[in-house]
Amino acid sequence: MTGYADPRRIEAMIEGLDRFTATPGRGTTRLTYSAEYRAAADFVAGWMRDAGLTVRQDAVGTIIGRIEGRNPDLAPILVGSHLDSVPNGGRFDGPAGVVAGIETAFLFRDLGLVPDRPVEVVAMIEEEGTRFGGGLFGSRLLTGAIGPEALEDLRDGQGVSAAEAMRAYGLDPARAGEAARAPGSVHAFLELHIEQGPVLEAEGRDIAIVETIVGLAQLRVTVRGQAAHAGTTPMDQRRDALVGAVGILAQLPDLARQVGRGAVLTVGRMEVLPGGANVIPDLVTFTIDLRAPAEADVLRLIEMVEGTVAHAQGNGLSCTIERQLYAPPTPLSDQIQTALLAQAEGLGLSHRVMVSGAGHDAMILAGLAPTGLIFVPSRGGVSHAPEEWTDYAQLARGTDLIFATIRQMSGAVPG
């Protein structure tokens, strides 16, 4: 089956983007507002212009390419994903969705299609939260879920605030609110993403149409003790923050197992200070990422985790926990799922409906406009690692579905 999208052009965009990493040879590491991010954003803007899009950067650094509609005042359809990455991640997580949007624009141009309502391709910042924690940051700014006031408090691992990083990037954090879209100002949002799991490959299917995205929370635990000499401090006189943190952490996986029903919990990052081999640690922070399909289970797991941290308080240790992100389970638009299913049938794509265990910008945009999310297969189900891979022919088939659905939803006809 030959579709519309050009796998070679898609490959050129993905492989071109993959040069912009802080860890060449060790996966994609592209932190928001970094030099690599600037280069990637400029690269995406160039391809958008080649595809005939009118390109702008919004007040928080999201790159937006617009196909004007015959009725320019109609609310646009947005299509895209994020441009930032996890540390040492893969080249497809985020860029696959941005590139699918740009390829859709190329197809509009190549086929001489003019939409009735405008279409905007978006490449968003800080979905992963690798730099400033939490995540879904660019989409939450776009929907107005958070505003400029959040920028001063959020800090990266070097203590640089999001506001300072924005200024260094050439943006004015005081104007971040200008990136927010008013309710009713977006007609729909569509996102293509890699599955990041094994299901499509195992079932030999081309596409998943996502019906719900699991609820998720990102928490940050801080344990404070007292720095002291490793050699002269008796074992019964220590206030060892790392021993305290490990004692908390060791209890956490069982909490997710107790909740069950697909609940998962991950501690992905830990900082131990001051970090001397011969110094008893006095400050330990670690992240907790927890998810479940049912909101009651997410909330119950948060409570159990917070109780575990509170119980660790004492014996000379102070233990605190803060919520960096909370997103409830998000059902996606039935109307858009129906449109995607019809187009997938028309394109002869093998497909299934799926619940997403990964979080996506789509779960935030769903609060602003009817939203659809589709997956293409991930080889071995691997993601958030340099080995992440999706064949370009598979990515082209997913792009065909995005293109065909946007062509229909936007009322596009030959110009």
CB 113: neighbour CB atoms within 10 A? 20
Using the rule CB under 6 A, which residue among 359, 370, 372, 398 binds ligand HGY?
359
Choose the one of Mn ion, ligand HGY, none that binds residue 156, judging by a C-beta under 5 to 8 angstroms depending on kind.
none
Q: What is the largest CA-CA distance in the chain?
A: 81
135 vs 329, which CB is nearer to ligand HGY?
135
What six digits make up the tokens of 25?
């040879």
Under rule CB under 6 A, how many of the chain's residues touch ligand HGY? 5
Paired strand residues for 289: 218, 266
In terms of CB distance, is 34 or 287 closer to ligand HGY? 287
Return the residue nearest Mn ion (CB atom): 93
Between residue 103 and residue 132, which ones bind ligand HGY under the rule CB under 6 A? 127-128
The alpha helices in 51-156, defined as continuous H runs, are 95-110, 137-142, 149-153
Neighbouring C-beta atoms of residue 105, cutoff 10 Å: 25
Q: Least separation, in Å, of the C-beta of 373 and ligand HGY? A: 12
Distance in angstroms (rounded) separating the CA atoms of residues 402 and 215: 25
Report DSSP state, residue 57: E
- 135's contact among Mn ion, ligand HGY, none, with CB below 5 to 8 A by partner kind, is ligand HGY
How, if at all, do strands 207-213 and 371-376 pair? antiparallel
Q: What's the Rg (C-alpha) of the chain?
A: 22
Pick between residue 61 and residue 134 the one whose CB is nearest to ligand HGY. 134
126 belongs to the binding site for Mn ion (CB under 5 A): no
Which of helix, strand or coil describes residue 193? strand
388 contacts ligand HGY (rule: CB under 6 A): no
Which residues fall within 8 angstroms of residue 401, CB to CB, at 6 or more apart?
192, 207, 340, 343, 344, 347, 349, 374
Nearer CB in complex with ligand HGY: 84/240: 84
Phi (first) and psi of residue 114, to 5 degrees: -120, 120
DSSP SS3 for 104 = helix
Query: Is residue 361 close enough to count as binding ligand HGY by CB under 6 A?
Result: no
Nearer to ligand HGY, 126 or 240 (CB): 126
Interface residue with ligand HGY, options 358, 402, 404, 409 (CB under 6 A): 358
Confirm or reject binding of residue 191 to Mn ion (CB under 5 A).
no
User: In 73-206, which residue ranges form alpha helices assigned H by DSSP?
Assistant: 95-110, 137-142, 149-153, 162-169, 199-203
- Out of Mn ion, ligand HGY, none, what residue 359 binds, judged by CB under 5 to 8 A for its kind, is ligand HGY
Q: Which is nearer to ligand HGY, 3 or 89 (CB)?
A: 89
Indicate the residue among 76 and 215 with the shorter CB distance to ligand HGY.
215
The verdict on 93 binding Mn ion (CB under 5 A) reads yes
Binding site for ligand HGY (CB under 6 A): 127-128, 135, 358-359
Binding site for Mn ion (CB under 5 A): 93-94
